[in-house]
Amino acid sequence: MPEDPLQVSEFDLLLAAAMLDRPSREAERTLESLVDTSLLQQPRPGRYRLHDLVRAHARRLAEAAPAAPAEAAEAAEAAAARTAALRLFLDAGRITSDWGPRGFPTGPRPAEAPFAGWKDAEAWLDAAGAELADVVGHAAALGEADYACWIAEAMTDHFLGRGRYHECRTALETALAHADRAGDQRMALALRNCLGIVDVYQGRFPQARAWFTEALDVSRHRADRREEARALGGLAAAELNLGRAEQAIPHLTAVVELSRQLADDWLISMGLCLLGAVHHLQGRNEEALLAFDGAHTHAKANGRPRMLSRVLALAADVHVGLGDYGEATTLLRRAADLVEQAGDTFLHALTLARLGTAEQGAGNLNDAIALHHQALSQHQELDPLTEPHYDRIEMDIRCRLGRAYVAAGRVGEAREQFRTALDVPGAAAHPAEREQALAGLDGLDGRHGLDECEVS
């Protein structure tokens, strides 16, 4: 077996089979024989790693300059193994991406990857753990600039869906530093757009706008309409989050027009989804629902759960505002199922909280309270050190839960939730949520007077 060309500390059967260019059963027999002779270690079921001494010896052999035909053949074998390994990571990333494997206009076409579907590929990437970002660095160090860029782009949705923002940024920045050496000129644009998306997720909207503006300028210069549409969509998202909905509208109109020309279902859905959000924000509910209906049609054609769930949840928000709680709960239950399938803990927490509010509106108070507790459980699975919205989301969920307790006449439990929301360490940074909690307490204690020191 050639030395691991990516220098990852652990690997599994699929990666070994790709590197050896052998069927999985044959590769497994080879691996088990190496385990039996102590040349390979098995730290946990299904995962393997080279013994440190074996790794060091293999690396010395791999770094030696080929001086004979046999050594040249070994070098060619190692190069082929390296390409096969990189291709496996690329295919897994593209299969799990919200765009889907056909949403990437450049790079290798989808291969016969050993995954039953996006869930299988997602599980494989999860098992790789913290080494995914390192794969991009290894590819770049090995002179595989194109693969470094392709993999970083393909892995973006996987990282973001799991709240692994730092790793995502590291992979993208590493790849961008080598984009000028890549044969695929689209990557210099695509990686900038991806970095803008990371900034949007982290609430760094001015920085996101800078990335998208740069990508837009270059994409127009190079006449790359797809990356132009993605940059425009990103700019619209940044403007919307900065409170400039009017500035977002022309961007979104252009996104929808461009994406229809490209017949890109994901881009159309994204553009219509954001346009619907703007309409809802400005009180145009019928136009919002029409936009969400179109977004849902294209999201279904694309078939990716995260986009479908976002469209359903945003449409449900409109129905909640209109007092149509039955339709809202139907949409939100479908959305919750989709994000649970996708393994997106952050979106799952948000969706359950919204569903709880819709159930409260429908008069189903026990269901509402149970859903808010489920949302809190999901929230607690997030990492407070890496999730920038951790405190704000906790405050929002606890305020929703407090209001549900109020509606159920459970005043003591309601007061506890409002006070806990105010005690969140970062509460001062979130004035809207803090105001909700204070208003909740005022509603409970206003008749008797509220000691100001209790909530200061």
pLDDT band at 447 (very low <50, low <70, confident <90, very high): very low
pLDDT band at 290 (very low <50, low <70, confident <90, very high): very high
Please name the residue that has the structure tokens 């098995």. Answer: 42
Radius of gyration, alpha carbons of the chain: 25
Mean pLDDT of 182-190: 97
Q: Cβ distance 315 to 353 under 8 Å?
A: no
CB-neighbour burial class of residue 58 (10 A; exposed 0-12, middle 13-18, buried 19+): middle
Mean pLDDT of 115-143: 88
Given a cut of 90, whether residue 358 has pLDDT beyond it is yes
pLDDT band at 83 (very low <50, low <70, confident <90, very high): confident
d(CA 195, CA 207): 9
Amino acid letter, 193: N
Name the DSSP letter for residue 20. H
Mean pLDDT of 110-131: 85
How many residues does the structure list for the chain?
Answer: 456
pLDDT of residue 57: 43
In 6-150 the beta strands, taken as DSSP E runs, fall at 11-12, 40-44, 47-50
pLDDT of residue 455: 35
Q: Cβ distance 86 to 139 under 8 Å?
A: yes
Q: What is the tens place of the pLDDT at every residue in 412-426?
A: 999 999 999 999 999
Mean pLDDT (the chain, rounded)? 87
Please name the residue that has the structure tokens 């089979």. Answer: 17
Given a cut of 60, whether residue 123 has pLDDT beyond it is yes
Tell me, rounded to whole angstroms, the distance of Cα 431 from its chain centroid: 27
How is the beta sheet containing 47-50 ordered, strand by strand? 11-12, 47-50, 40-44
Q: Cβ distance 364 to 333 under 8 Å?
A: no
Q: What is the tens place of the pLDDT at every residue in 18-67?
A: 566 566 666 566 666 665 565 566 666 656 565 554 454 455 545 555 55
Cα-flanking dihedrals φ and ψ of residue 45, to 5°? Answer: -55, 130
In 78-188 the beta strands, taken as DSSP E runs, fall at none
Given a cut of 70, whether residue 293 has pLDDT beyond it is yes
Amino acid letter, 454: E
Q: For residues 163, 164, 165 and 169, what is the CA-based torsion angle, rounded to 10 degrees?
A: -150
pLDDT of residue 112: 79
pLDDT of residue 12: 63
Q: pTM for this one?
A: 0.83
pLDDT of residue 59: 54
